[in-house]
Amino acid sequence: MISTSTRPRLLLLLMLAACGMCSAQQALNSAPTAVDAAKPTTSSKEFSSRSPRYRIQPGDTFDLTFDLSPEFNQTAVPVQPDGFATLRSVGDIKVAGETVPELTETVKQAYSKILNNPPISVVLKDFEKPYFIAGGQVSKPGKYEMHGNTTLVQAIEIAGGFQTAAKHSKVYLFRRVDDQWTEAKLFDVKKMEKSGNLSEDPFLHPGDMLFVPKNTYSKIDRFIPNLSVGTYIPLQIP
């Protein structure tokens, strides 16, 4: 049985313990989850950058020219489905996802084991033509080739413009960030066109996908797994 003199002290200890548990729970709730930590980070400047460099993809081919060691010259080097390319005398190297300058540096490093700082030229031969995909409430949904710089508003017009039931104020732009994540961003095209201010009209990157909803669209995370994009956009591409 607890005496009257010890009850205040016991109550104080219980209150302190409860506060400690609350603080721990708050810290736990505010801590980033493993999924949040895995999400890539991009700035709005990166999202709207005008001239992204082409990145090597499986199925591409490229030529290698060694100015001082022509015996190592190679033509139409194929990029395999796994993203690797087989080079003479150095074997397989991972090249998918790299720009031409990055590929040039990768090849230099690979050959630095047998050549002293070799001057190398890399020229793409066969590669996938830039494209974007338009879906939802546009007149002509589908896959379109990109010729030069193309903005979101221009892409909508290329796809035939908005349908009558389109939600002009909520146009989604999906951009693949890496093998696991696709970035989704919302644009108010109605506001841009009404004000005549197209400074927020983003330039598309090859492979971008725009979607115009019909009605109020449920909120989605900025980054979603690539396998889930089809859940949001049931596209029918010829």
Amino acid at site 44: S
What pLDDT is stored for residue 16 in this prediction?
46
Two tokens, residue 22: 């609350």
Q: Are 155 and 204 spatial neighbours (Cβ–Cβ below 8 Å)? A: yes
Phi-psi region of 123 (alpha: psi -120 to 50; beta: other; left: phi over 0): beta
pLDDT digits (tens, 9 = 90+) for 162-199: 998 899 999 999 998 776 788 899 999 999 988 888 88
Rounding to the nearest 10 degrees, give the CA dihedral for residues 104, 50, 47, 226: -60
What pLDDT is stored for residue 221 in this prediction?
57
Query: Looking up tokens 């290698």, which residue turns up?
Result: 64
What pLDDT is stored for residue 119 in this prediction?
92
What pLDDT is stored for residue 180 in this prediction?
78
Below-50 pLDDT ranges, the chain: 2, 11-12, 14, 16, 18-19, 21-25, 27-28, 35, 44-45, 217-218, 235-238
CA 91 to chain centre: 30
Report how far apart, in Å, the C-alpha atoms of 147 and of each of 23, 38, 39, 61, 139 are: 56, 34, 31, 21, 20
Question: Which residue blocks in the chain are alpha helix, DSSP H?
Answer: 7-30, 34-38, 44-47, 100-111, 152-158, 189-195, 229-232
What pLDDT is stored for residue 57 in this prediction?
87
What pLDDT is stored for residue 22 in this prediction?
47
Q: Is the pTM of this model over 0.85?
A: no
- How far apart CA 85 and CA 83 sit, in angstroms, is 7
Report how far apart, in Å, the C-alpha atoms of 55 and of each of 68, 95, 101, 181, 187 are: 27, 9, 10, 17, 26
C-alpha gyration radius of the chain: 27
What pLDDT is stored for residue 1 in this prediction?
53
What pLDDT is stored for residue 103 in this prediction?
95
What pLDDT is stored for residue 230 in this prediction?
57
